[in-house]
Structure formats: C-alpha cells, structure tokens
Structure 1
C-alpha cells in the first residue's frame, strides 16, 4: 500500500479519487429462501398433548374447560372413591342428603371400599371427623396405604391439618392393622401393637430395614443389642408382618392404580387390534349454538374478539386431541404388528425394536414416536406395559439374524435367578457363561447392568437373604 500510493499519484490521480475508489460503499437487496421451524403456541400445545397419558389429558381438558365457556367436557367416570365435600366454616357439618356408603356401587359389604367405609363409621362418631374420614378413605389405595398428602385433604375440606392428622390417627386403628399407613415403616409399626416386650426392639429393626435388605446380621445385632437367637426371633416376627394389609379386604389382588391408555386384543377373526381405552378419555364438544347466541347479544369489539378467540381455541383443541388419539393408535398398532410373537408367546419372544423402525413405518419423526411412547401404557394378554417397554436394543444371537431383545435377555436373567439353588446363588460370571452357551453374545458387565436395572441383588447379597429366610438363621 505504501509503495503503490506514490505510483498512483505519479499517474495524476488525486488523493480523493484514490480513497473513493478504494472504499466504495453500496446498498443492494438480495432474496434468499430458507426453511426454519417456528414453535407457535398452538404447536407447543400440540406437542404437550402427545406427552400426556389419558388421565393427564383429562386433567388438562378439565382445566381448559374452566377457562373456555364454549368448551363442553364430559369427564370419564371414576371407578372408585367418592367426591370430597367441603366442610362448612362452622363447627358442624350438614350431613343431610350425604351418605357416602349409599353411593357405593356394591352395598353387600364385600368390596374393599365398603369394608373401609364401614370402619370409618365405627371408629368416628363426630360429624366433622366422619367427613374427613370419608375423604381419607376415598383416597386409600387397594394395598391399604394412604398416598395423598394431608395438606391437600385439609385444603379441599377447608379444615385444619392438625384435625385431619388427628382423624388419621383414629383411622389407623382399623383392621387389618396397617391400614391408612403413609409409608412402609409406618405400616409395619402399626402392626406391632401387641408385640409386648419386643416392641421397642422391633421398632429399631424397622428403622434399619436397609440393613435387613443387605443381610448385615452382625451390624443388626449391634443395633439391637441382642444375640443370634434373639435376632432370629425378631426377623421371624418381621417376616410375619404384611406390607400390603389392604389386600386382605379384597380378593387378594391389587387392582391397577391407573387404567391402561390402550388395549391390544385379538378380534373375532384372530387378528390383533388396538383400541384406545375410552373409559379413561374425556368427551369434548364445542358449543357452537351458544357461540352464535352470544355473538348476537354483544356489540363491543373486545367482547366479539373474546368470543371469536374462545371458539377458535375450542375448535383447535378438539382437532388436536383427535389428532393425538389417531397418532397414538397408529403408533401402538405398528408396535403390536411388530411384536406379535411377544403377544402370542411371552417375554422370551420380544423382538429388538428401535424408534426409527416405527417412525419409518408410520411416516412420523422419531421425536414424535418418542413423545407418544413416553407416558402411554397398553394392556396386553401378557400384562400391562408402558409403550417404552416394547423398545430395546438387539443382543447378538446365534439363532437369529436380527438378534435377541434386551428385554428377553433380562427376562432370562430373572428366571435364572429365580431358579438358582439357595446355597449357591449364581454369580454374574455364571449367568454370562450360561447365556453364552445358549447362543447369546453378551458380556459380564451387560449382565451386571441388567441385574441392577431389575433391582436384583448381587450373589453375595442374595446368599445372605436366603440365609435370613431359612427356618434356622445362622447369624
């Protein structure tokens, strides 16, 4: 630049001319096409709907109906439980016309709910206490546990938390012992009312259930300050306690805490079909007639805009839920088509499956498949499974080109551990060797990982557990 500048001047070019040519600035308009994804509020809501199971969808639609006067929602019927009635601000509750026992479907006194509510009436005589007792009983799980927070019950009933806690203490005298417990330790303690002189020792044992699970017998003896024979007696008493006392009031089987979202079954022609569980889905409808009437009565622009926006939101939500249901059916049907061997014969026939395989089959993106399968469950002849359970990696197998499903391998590991000799539990190396001999190419660390995923203790921990379960415990 310094060498070129004198030469330019020698040709008769002025300084301004030189600088103008070197620093020319111009403005030009250019057109370019570019694709980009814009997440509108409606698109965000549509994605959210894909992430909801039927129960969560019902809650979402119910909340939307509270804010939108043109959205009509018919909620699915609740199979158990009774509506909670708010208490009055005074000390007494008007019980006229309110008989929770009469609201039960079965009044023969044989159902779980009927027996629990009958005990509420026996244990509570005060009207206010009974109202709280009915509310607590309506939230009782079939296992006998109470998983609802007392603060939520008190807020719903406009009652004091201390009063709800006092009623709960009275209800915990119900039979079988352990009903209305809020966790495992409380459930076991409630069953120690007649433990006599051993009650204090048993409470210490229950406080250290983690040591019992680990089979740490010497440490347990130090905690309880007892000898081998005494510890053996305490452990026998612990095994006699029932962690699920509510099952004694039913038929011995716990009903699902949540109904499935989808159902897979064989139709009359023997073909597999998939349906949504409509008993858990809300029925929504847009009240177009009310919208027309309201538009005729209002005259302000702001009111017209509100009506127009509310109707548009209601129509969009109806279409979005319909699309969500269709997508769920489409994805579930493809999963059922691919996993027919599992549905017919059981876990050992589970095939390896990836999200991309279902996405390519139904013409959707992998992220959409991931969202649909994140929370939905499906009832099958083999049991109720989350849709995520049908996806697993492939393990190399000599007898199959596509390999074996990781779920099938995990099932084999569970079966092997269940059938192992108690005096010599199988180590991870032993399980690995057995699987390799069956043609499955799997490493020991993979066996250890699957064992931990299924919460199966190590061989040494299982050995101690077997020793504790034996009639004669060698501490």
Structure 2
C-alpha cells in the first residue's frame, strides 16, 4: 500500500546575493580617486537628483624622495580629465563591463580583475577567490573563461603556457604545432631543440619559424594596458607627511575626489506635481540610489583612511629613512587592526596610491614577509630582498649568469640571513629562470 505524507523541514543556508548595490560597493573599492570621479559622473548622467562636483586634478609638487613635508598642497600642473579612463584598472573594469552582462558574473569579474597582476596574470587561486565570494569555484572558472577573451589576448591567464596559448587562435594554421611547443617550453629552457623537432614533427627551418612566432607573443599582456600609466602618472589618492608637531598624518587627496550632492529639494518639488504611481516610484528610486551612492563613497573613503593610517603607523621607519627600513607586513595584520576582511584590504591596497616623503607609491608596496637580518629582532622586508635579487640578476653578464649560491653569499655578506632555497623561491615568484636556464636562453636568443 502506497503511503503519501507531507512534511516541513527548516534549514539554514548561507549565500551571497549579488545585488546591484553590492556590485557598486565592490567596484568602489577597486577604483582610485580619479576613476571614482569618472564613475560617479557616469551615474549622475542617469540620475536627475545626483550632482557631482568634479575636482580639478593636480599633480604633486615633487615625486622624489625629498618631498617637502611642510607643504602638502599641489602645484597647478593639470592632467587631462579623460586620461583617467586610460589607467590599467579602468581599462580592466571597462572590459569586465563590456564582456559580462549578468549582475552575478560582473561581481565575480570585478573580483578577478582586482587580483590581476600588472603583467595581466591571475596568480590568486580560483578556490580562494570562490571562498571569499562565497560561490562555487565552477562559477568563478566560467567567468574567467569569458574574461580570457579580453584584449589584449593573454589577459587573465594563470601561467605562462595559458597566456601564450590564448594568443594563438584555434583558426590559426599553426595552432597545433604552436600548441605542442607551448606545452613543452621546458625543452626550450633546456636547449633540447632536436627533441622539440621530434615532438612537433617539423624540420629545423620550420622550428626556427615557430620559435620566431613564439618570440612574437607577449608573455606580459597586461603591460600594454599600463603604457603611459607608470607611477606617478596621476595624482595620488592619499597624502601622508609629518606635521609641524612631529606627528604623522594621513588624509585623502581632496583635489582628486568628487563631491557628491543629493538634490533633496528638487525631489520634494517634483513629487508635488506627480500624479501617477509609476512616476512617484521613479523619483523614490532615484533619490534612494543617490543617497546610497553618497553613503557608499563616504564609507569607501573612511575605509581607505583607516587602512592607510595603519600602514603608515607600521611603516614609519621606511617613510623616514627609506627602503632599507621597510618592515615586514601582511594583509592579515592590517585586517585585524582595522576590523576588516583580508579581501577588503587587498582591494583597497591594489587601487590606491599614496604620496610619501619616499615618493608616490601604491599601497600594496608596503606589504612583504620577514627575512632574518643580523642585529634586528624584527627582520628585513622580503620585498626589499626580492628587489636586491632582481637587481643583481638584471646586472649579470649573459655569458656568466649568477648562481643562487653566489647571490646568497652576496646577501649574507650584507647581513641578510637568507638561504639558497629562498633565493630560488623569489626567482620563481618573479618568473626568473635558474642560472642554467638563463644561460641557455641567452644562447638560444643568439641563434634566433
């Protein structure tokens, strides 16, 4: 006998709803002050109750290490307002808007764009991004696949092979051969050209042709979006200096921030003459959106100040004495100090630049891990050590590349307690091959 019964179960699920306002809030954190002005202006064009007073953008009097601390004002060296839309971040977000029309996908797209390196690579694991967004990883992967059609081709790649492969269209007659070469880049690094020929099934002349094509691909497509946008191409978003009383201060650069006004009086006047409910709804929605944008920008500005002030407090030795005194710092440290999530700190620090006595720098510059330094309890900044490694390798003689052992000994002689494997780790982080691979690369370049 068939028994049919009806029961009610109550369960609690946690999910993130990608409302238009949530999309806006995420986007505001990803914009610098100049981009924020352009964004607010575009919103005001569609909202009759929103007024935007745009700033007269000015560049600092000096960008060098000897910025006068007593004068935090700006010289009247104006930048063209339309240059704001040409920055790396603005171009990325514009492509997200053009590529993705679904609201939920755009929210994921903004998060992906905010984690893109200047090279155009996405080095943050999709699993971590999915966790921060509280969505399944497959949704993030699907959005990433769509964004990988962005221009220049190769953007949003997760490694070198993927970056190069994206630049070879499937309709290309050499697609299969180039795909085999890209999948076996390790053979080129080892100089095994004959084995590469066997894998591709081509002659020596054909291989040389394919290698010339390979050299024509761009391993760092993001740099094309940053042309003309190298710091300090724009006025800083934040200012920090030592006041007359000897205390350091941090403030927003008011000359780059838009002033948001909500015309409440106009809303009240219009309401008196509207009879239809649909017209009343239009007025209420636009007034509500204008008020929300004003509050959201104020919250964004407050968050920026809190984060920057804590960074300045920790990095005072660097601000006063230079890069050799950069302290180790993690996103988690700032997040715990200001009571925000690490992902929020990451977004804020990837977008903003701050003027300091050491020059105008992105906030993300101040973050690095610790390396043991003789005579120091705290250690040295890993960023400073990585810069030393890059500098040494950049100055090496091609016929005699520097080994990790030599670099280790060189840094140890300067008082940095660092192991050879750490040198290797920093090389890999900066996509620098080993000394043997670099020697082969130099030889390969000489034959092509």
TM-score of the two chains, using structure 1 as the length reference:
0.51
Q: Which residue of 2 aligns with 1:305?
A: 281
SS at match of 1:73: strand
d(CA) in 2 for partners of 1:384, 1:450: 24
Q: Which residue of 2 aligns with 1:345?
A: 321
Q: Which residue of 2 aligns with 1:265?
A: 241
Which of residues 4, 14, 18 is equivalent to 1:39?
18
Q: Which residue of 2 aligns with 1:29?
A: 8
- CA-to-aligned-CA distance 1:78-124 (integer Å, 9 cap, x gap): 449xxxxxxxxxxxxxxxxxxxxxxxx99xxxx999xxxxxxxxxxx
Query: C-alpha displacement at 1:294, in angstroms?
Result: 0.7
Q: Which residue of 1 aligns with 2:39?
A: 60
Q: Which residue of 1 aligns with 2:359?
A: 383
Query: C-alpha displacement at 1:449, in angstroms?
Result: 4.3
Q: Which residue of 2 aligns with 1:177?
A: none
1:285/1:355 Cα in 2 relative to 1: closer, same or farther (>3 Å)?
A: same
Unaligned runs of 5+ in 1: 1-18, 81-104, 114-134, 140-253, 465-475
- CA-to-aligned-CA distance 1:286-343 (integer Å, 9 cap, x gap): 0011111111111111111111110000000000000000000000111111111111
2:341 is the alignment partner of 1:365: yes
Q: Which residue of 1 aligns with 2:54?
A: 75
d(CA) in 1 for partners of 2:263, 2:383: 48
Query: C-alpha displacement at 1:459, in angstroms?
Result: 9.1
d(CA) in 2 for partners of 1:271, 1:415: 34
Q: Which residue of 2 aligns with 1:333?
A: 309
Query: C-alpha displacement at 1:377, in angstroms?
Result: 0.7
SS at match of 2:5: coil
d(CA) in 2 for partners of 1:358, 1:73: 32
Preserved contact between residue 328 and residue 381 of structure 2 (Cα < 8 Å):
yes
d(CA) in 2 for partners of 1:392, 1:260: 22
Unaligned runs of 5+ in 2: 60-74, 84-229, 444-448
Q: Which residue of 1 aligns with 2:28?
A: 49
d(CA) in 2 for partners of 1:365, 1:396: 28
For residues 400-411 of structure 1, the aligned pairs below 5 Å read: 400-411=376-387
Preserved contact between residue 428 and residue 447 of structure 1 (Cα < 8 Å):
no
- CA-to-aligned-CA distance 1:107-153 (integer Å, 9 cap, x gap): xxxx999xxxxxxxxxxxxxxxxxxxxx9xx98xxxxxxxxxxxxxx
SS at match of 2:245: coil
Query: C-alpha displacement at 1:439, in angstroms?
Result: 3.5
Preserved contact between residue 428 and residue 448 of structure 1 (Cα < 8 Å):
no
For residues 87-102 of structure 1, the aligned pairs below 5 Å read: none
For residues 141-220 of structure 1, the aligned pairs below 5 Å read: none
Preserved contact between residue 58 and residue 78 of structure 2 (Cα < 8 Å):
no
Preserved contact between residue 331 and residue 358 of structure 1 (Cα < 8 Å):
yes
Cα RMSD after superposing both structures: 3.8
Q: Which residue of 2 aligns with 1:196?
A: none
Query: C-alpha displacement at 1:401, in angstroms?
Result: 4.2
- CA-to-aligned-CA distance 1:330-361 (integer Å, 9 cap, x gap): 00111111111111111111111111111100
d(CA) in 2 for partners of 1:335, 1:79: 25
Query: C-alpha displacement at 1:434, in angstroms?
Result: 1.6
2:298 is the alignment partner of 1:322: yes
Query: C-alpha displacement at 1:387, in angstroms?
Result: 0.9
d(CA) in 1 for partners of 2:387, 2:265: 56
d(CA) in 2 for partners of 1:335, 1:40: 31
d(CA) in 1 for partners of 2:394, 2:282: 64
Query: C-alpha displacement at 1:29, in angstroms?
Result: 2.3
For residues 387-402 of structure 1, the aligned pairs below 5 Å read: 387-402=363-378
TM-score of the two chains, using structure 2 as the length reference:
0.54
Preserved contact between residue 231 and residue 361 of structure 2 (Cα < 8 Å):
no
Query: C-alpha displacement at 1:421, in angstroms?
Result: 10
SS at match of 1:388: helix
1:382/1:60 Cα in 2 relative to 1: closer, same or farther (>3 Å)?
A: same
Preserved contact between residue 240 and residue 250 of structure 2 (Cα < 8 Å):
yes
SS at match of 2:241: strand
For residues 242-281 of structure 1, the aligned pairs below 5 Å read: 256-281=232-257
SS at match of 1:72: strand
SS at match of 1:378: strand
Query: C-alpha displacement at 1:420, in angstroms?
Result: 8.7
d(CA) in 2 for partners of 1:436, 1:255: 32
Query: C-alpha displacement at 1:379, in angstroms?
Result: 0.8
Larger radius of gyration between Structure 1 and Structure 2: 1
d(CA) in 1 for partners of 2:412, 2:28: 44
Preserved contact between residue 77 and residue 279 of structure 1 (Cα < 8 Å):
yes
Query: C-alpha displacement at 1:47, in angstroms?
Result: 1.2
SS at match of 1:351: coil
Q: Which residue of 1 aligns with 2:267?
A: 291
